[in-house]
Amino acid sequence: MPRSHGSEIDTLIQLLAKLPGLGPRSARRSTLQLLKKKDSVMKPLADALNMVADKIVICDTCGNIDTHNPCHVCEDTRRDRSLVCVVEDVADLWALDRSETFKGLYHVLGGTLSALDGVGPDELNISPLIDRVETGDVQEVILALNATVDGQTTSHYLAERLASSGVKVTALAHGVPVGGELDYLDDGTLAAALRARGSVS
Amino acid sequence: MPRSHGSEIDTLIQLLAKLPGLGPRSARRSTLQLLKKKDSVMKPLADALNMVADKIVICDTCGNIDTHNPCHVCEDTRRDRSLVCVVEDVADLWALDRSETFKGLYHVLGGTLSALDGVGPDELNISPLIDRVETGDVQEVILALNATVDGQTTSHYLAERLASSGVKVTALAHGVPVGGELDYLDDGTLAAALRARGSVS
Ligand SMILES: [Zn+2]
Ligand SMILES: [Zn+2]
């Protein structure tokens, strides 16, 4: 291979190419843009990465990734603490929160049950959810898992586990396309699905 | 706006969204991926950005952006120093060099002449090219500008300026689609266009 630039630049291209949405070509273009905007983008980006990397923490309460523990959601006193929305991933928490329809709290499972991948209840953030529901002020648990087979299996499992707790258990209404993933939906669809949520237990 | 995470994370998302190919949604997904891969991607990326930012330099000879001056191309003794390929942008230099057909040197103009944008010869890296051709070992200048109106105007201007120097002036063969930009072409097309280059003066 010819070398038109130093190995540090190659390293940067390769690291950027690992980001979702950036292939090798976009990573090269991004690198060039960074090289040309050293002071306005490249250094601020390096600083932001270092600052966030130093502060990243997983919220002990809900599993959100943030720079504070408890996270910004859990420590927001304007939120309705009687509502807990259960999601698979932090990306789903962010997506739902952007829809600005839901003003309660969240609980991030960290995945779904999967026989194929050998993921059982102990591999997910489920026990802390049960504890949270049994000891806190929670009155309704909204299951907002992806409309995939594993997501729905996990939903049914959680509904059974939560049945004895006496809290209301609901799930997102149809409106989430079958097979679709929450994080790819527009905010309007997410909002409609939340408003029309129905009881599953 | 609800706050599901700290402002440092928002800053990171906004900076990533400035990269070509990453919109706000991909920037959020990239940020989450970085948060989840703190040690394997996030910190190495911050380090790579800082390391490259500290070393960025524009090659005094050819205008390439690199971590060394002269750049890796100019100091590569295996290259044919009698051939200079003139390109608009560093992205084109990188693209041509990836095609592995050309083993000469480059000269980056930094743009094209443009009556509309008020870009004249003095705004481009043209005088150093003339000096380089008149004082060095250059025997052939290959004009590899984009097949746009401004690119071709600039090509004609350079061919005229170089006519008195006695060096051979060639241009990329047809093969570059009209209106197309070099950096978007596949390596095979670039290689074919280079091999079939023809005289323009
Ligand atoms: Zn939290
Ligand atoms: Zn150079």
Residue by residue, DSSP assigns chain B as ---SS-HHHHHHHHHHTTSTT--HHHHHHHHHHHHHTIIIIIHHHHHHHHHHHHH-EE-TTT--EESSSS-TTTT-TTS-TTEEEEESSHHHHHHHHHTT---SEEEE-SS--BTTTTB-GGGTTTHHHHHHHHHSS--EEEE---SSHHHHHHHHHHHHHHHTT--EEEEPPBTBPTT--GGGS-HHHHHHHHHT-EE--
Domain with CATH 3.40.1360.10 in chain A: 69-199
A7-55 CATH choice from 1.20.140.160, 1.10.8.420, 1.10.240.10, 3.40.30.10:
1.10.8.420
Q: How confident is the model at residue A4 (pLDDT cuts 50, 70, 90)?
A: confident
Can you name the residues that pair with A170 across neighbouring β-strands? A142, A199
Is the full-model pTM beyond 0.90? no
Enumerate residues 163 to 192 of chain A having a beta carbon within 8 A of any beta carbon in chain B.
Answer: 183
Which residues make beta-bridge pairs with B187? none
By mean pLDDT, which of A47-51, A77-81, B98-102 is the weakest?
A: B98-102
At residue B102, the pLDDT reads: 87
Whether residue A73 lies within 8 A of chain B, CB to CB, comes out as: yes
> Looking at the domain that runs over B69-199, which CATH code has it been given?
3.40.1360.10
Predicted confidence at residue B39, as pLDDT, reads 94
Q: How far is A111 from chain B (nearest CA, A)?
A: 13
Contacts of B17 in chain A (CB under 8 A): none
d(CA A85, CA A64): 12
- Contact state of B49 with A51 under an 8 Å Cβ cutoff: no
Q: Using CA atoms, how far apart are residues B25 and B23, in angstroms rounded to an integer?
A: 6
Residues of B in contact with A43 (CB under 8 A): 49-50, 53
A29 touches chain B (CB under 8 A): yes
Give dist(CA B191, CA B84) in Å, integer.
16
Q: Using CB atoms, which residue from A22, A48, A50 is nearest to B21?
A: A22
CB spacing of B5 vs A34 below 8 angstroms: no
Give the model's pLDDT for residue B95: 86
Would the pLDDT of B72 be above 90?
A: yes
Residues of chain A with CATH 1.10.8.420: 7-55
Ligand nearest, relative to CA of residue A90: 1
Q: What is the residue-averaged pLDDT of chain A?
A: 89
Q: What is the pLDDT of residue B191?
A: 76
Percent share of chain A, pLDDT over 90: 63
**pLDDT at residue A176 is higher than 80:** no
% of residues, chain B, pLDDT over 90: 64
Stretch A6-20: mean pLDDT, rounded? Answer: 92
| Residue B6 sits at the chain A interface (C-beta within 8 Å) | yes
Residues in B closer than 8 angstroms to A57, CB to CB, are: none
Record: contact B32-A1, CB cut-off 8 A: no
Per-residue model confidence as pLDDT tens digits over B14-59: 999 999 888 888 999 999 999 999 999 999 999 999 999 999 999 9
Q: Are A40 and B135 in contact (CB under 8 A)?
A: no
